[in-house]
Structure 1
Amino acid sequence: MNYVNPYHFVTNCISGKWKMTILHHIHHYGKIRFNETKKTLGVSEKVLSQQLKELTSDGLVERIQYNTIPLKVEYILTPLGEDLIPALDILYIWSVRRLADLNLPIDPDAFKVHTEMKYEDQLMDIMDTYKQKQHPEGN
C-alpha cells in the first residue's frame, strides 16, 4: 500500500503561485469570472486557466457555465474549498507577521483584499505601521 503524507497532499492542492490567492479571491467576492480575475490579479491567462483547472480537479472550486451568448463562466468555492479558508487565513496572518519581523516589504494589495475584521484584529499593528510607511505625511 502506498501511503500519502497529509502535508504533501495539501501542499499539492494549494501549491502554485496563484492558487491561495485565487481561493481567497473567490471567498472574498463569492464568485469570480475569468477575465475580471486575470485583470485584477495581473496573472497570465495560461497560468490562471491552469490553476483554476487544478483547483477544480482537486474539488476546491466549481466551474459554472451558463448557456448564454456570449458564454458566461463563473467559479465558486465548493464546500471543500470553503473548509480550507480558515487554514489559509492562518497562513496569511503568519506570513504577514513573518514578513514584518524580517522587515521585508509587503505587497500593498495584501491589505486591500484582506479587509475583514478577522485580519484587522490579528494584524492591526502591522497594518498601521505599513500605512505610516506608505503615507508618512499623515503623521
Structure 2
Amino acid sequence: GSRRQRVQVQPIAQLELKTGAWAPAQALWMNAIGKVRLSFDEAAVFDPYDQNRSTGSFILIDPDSNNTIAGGMITGKRTDLGGIHKEGQRVLLSLPADLADQIMASELFASRRDETEVRRVTAAQAADIWANAASDI
C-alpha cells in the first residue's frame, strides 16, 4: 500500500540529454531526469525498484497545491551508500584511479593519510581481490 510522508529533496545530478552524461545539479527543472537524495521526517520502508516496483517507486506531491511534482525510483538506501563505520574495522574500496586521486587530494584524506594504505592495482587484480574477499565472508 501507499503512505504519505514528508520528505526533503536534495538534487545530486541531472542527466544531460544531448550527451547522456550526468552533471552535478543544485536544482532540477521541469521534465528533468535527475538523481536526488531523499531525507524523510520519519522512518521510511521501501525496496530498490529493481527488486519490487510497487515499493521501489514514489511520487512527490507539493503539500501546498496537492499537485504531483515528480515521480521516481529508489535505487539505494543510506546503508548501501554510507554508514559503514564499525569500530576497529577497515574498509576496502575499489575506485577508478581518477576518483582516488581526487579523494586523496582532499583535506580530510590528507589529515588522516597516516591511517591509510593505498595500493594501485589493475581492474583484473581488483576483481580477484574482491572474489577472494567474498569467499572469506
TM range (shorter): under 0.3
Structure index of larger Rg: 2
Higher relative contact order (CA 8 A, sep 6+): 1
Q: Of Structure 1 and Structure 2, which has the larger fraction of its residues in strand? A: 2
| TM norm structure 2 | 0.26
